[in-house]
Amino acid sequence: MIKSDVIVIGGGIAGMVAALVSARNGKRVTMLTYGEGTLPLNSGVIDILAYDQQHHYVENPMKAMESLPEEHPYHRIGREAVEEGISFFREVMGANGLPYAGSFDRHLFVPTAVGTLKPTSFAPRSLAGSRVFQGRRKIVVVSVRGLKDFYGSIMLENLKKELGESRSYEVAVVDPNLGGGRDITTQDVARWLESDEGRRNFVAQLRSRGGSDAVFIVPQVLGLKDGELSEELEERLGAPLVETTCLPPSVNGMRVQRILIDALRKAGVNIVENTRVIGAKVKGSKAISVTAEGCARKKEYTAERFILATGGFYSGGITMRDFDKPKEVVFNLPVSFVKGEAGWANDKLFSDQPQGFAKSGIRTDAAMRPLGADGKVVLENVRVCGRMLAGYDFCFEHSGNGVAISSAYKAARE
């Protein structure tokens, strides 16, 4: 039996933020994780809200938040915690060399791996494309020989549509000479650029393609650690470099992950990895402990407070073996979901209609405590955050990391 003040279940972005906020408030924190969380698959940019419920683009996320349906978790989190939580996150990133650009009331645009522009609220400087597009006449898409899942020509076609025909567009192919028999990944290229020789080589191959009104668009390869390398390369090339979001693994997501883990260690958080939490002991309206599977045996972890950040359906926080019977796996909390097959899924995957199942989750009060069907708090010392929350479809409305970070912040503070 391991005792802590706070136990955070889940090591994704919500779990890590909740653990860090708790630890910085002087709590003894244990974080239980299983798998890597979604950061290696997540661009790490912070979407607060880019589309309303009719899938119309919204100019001002904080304002649009007010007209979201009552069930939306932003109404529980509240404007203040959204601002404080995201500011907290930005401070942590900024203090560790990965400053985030952006604002609460207006969108930035980051280029995606296929050359569309995606609205987001905050992004590391190196991804914040709209910061530099204005006035630049020459768009140079940099593709890397041997890199999987990055196609310069497709990118170029889409960028033309987004940024207009009046600029010039070209693809520059950089050859990192990373032969070895397999496809190379963005991580391989980022490692290459972390070497002095790699950077020299990169600059030499691109220098002639730049110019004072040029901008280079590159895959997520500008260093594994922070934003320092992108600044150095911009200086050496004399033109801005913009990273795109990428197919996984996401280098930027992993920068964020590394910074958060280091911060957690520094704050004294005890991280137990590779342990799946499968149940809990409850007494009345209080959770006493959670049970986690280690190798071959179960282990009990007790605490005053539990923060549930187990990632919903994707990460196994909610399962559904029988239709219409979703189950929250740790505390067996009531799951709010759309009943019946008709509303469950939209079979047109890429349409502008939402997915019914996506809003499945746990309803909470303003303190992020789980609610039952009767609207009463089920467990007083449990807080729920991130993708476990009911009432939002992050894919459809583009609110993923915004809800994750701000709900985690509030869960740890309340």
Partner 1 sequence: MSDTKMIEEDKQAVYSGDHCLSCTSCMANCPVMAASLEYRGPKLVAPAHGRMHFSQDDYEDSLDFCSNCKSCDRACPSGVAVSTLNMLMRGEYYRHHPHSKRDDMLAHGERMAKLVSAIPFGSTFANLGTKVSGALGVLSAMGIAGQRSMPSYASKTFYRQFKDIKQPKSDKKVLFYPGCSINYNEPHIGIAFVKVMNHNGYEVLVDEGMNCCGSPLVVTGYLDEAKEHADNNVSRILKWKEQGIPVVVCCTSCSLMLRAEYAELFGEQRMEDAAENIYDAFEFLEELMSKGELKTDFKRVDKKLIYHVPCHLKTQGIGTPAVSVLKQVPGVEVELADAGCCGISGNYGFKKEKYDISMKIGEKLFERIKESTADDVICDCPTCRMQIKHGTQTDPCHPIEILEEAYR
162 is an interface residue for partner 1 by CB under 8 A: no
338 is an interface residue for partner 1 by CB under 8 A: no
CB 102 within 8 A of CB 110: no
CA distances 141 to 154, 166, 169, 364, Å, are 10, 16, 8, 45
Structure tokens at 342: 């008709």
Pick from 83, 232, 293, 414: which binds partner 1 (CB under 8 A)?
Answer: 293
Residue 248 CB, nearest approach to partner 1 (Å): 5
CA distances 147 to 106, 178, 225, 248, 375, Å, are 34, 10, 20, 12, 51
Nearer to partner 1, 295 or 342 (CB): 295
Distance in angstroms (rounded) separating the CA atoms of residues 333 and 251: 35
201 is an interface residue for partner 1 by CB under 8 A: no
349 is an interface residue for partner 1 by CB under 8 A: no
Pick from 114, 132, 178, 282: which binds partner 1 (CB under 8 A)?
Answer: 178
CB 361 within 8 A of CB 327: no
Per-residue mark of binding to partner 1, 76-95 (x: CB under 8 A): --------------------
Structure tokens at 296: 């071959």
364 is an interface residue for partner 1 by CB under 8 A: no
CB 138 within 8 A of CB 215: yes
297 is an interface residue for partner 1 by CB under 8 A: yes
Pick from 80, 91, 235, 273: which binds partner 1 (CB under 8 A)?
Answer: 273
Part in contact with partner 1 (CB under 8 A); list of ranges 87-95, 133-141, 291-299, 405-413: 291-299
Residue 20 CB, nearest approach to partner 1 (Å): 16
Query: How many amino acids of this chain bind partner 1 (CB under 8 A)?
Result: 43
Nearer to partner 1, 161 or 266 (CB): 266
179 is an interface residue for partner 1 by CB under 8 A: yes
Maximal C-alpha separation, the chain: 71
Using CB under 8 A as the criterion, which residues of the chain lie in contact with partner 1 when the complex forms? 1-3, 30, 34-38, 40-41, 178-182, 184-185, 187-188, 191, 248-249, 254, 261-262, 265, 270-276, 292-297, 299, 315-316
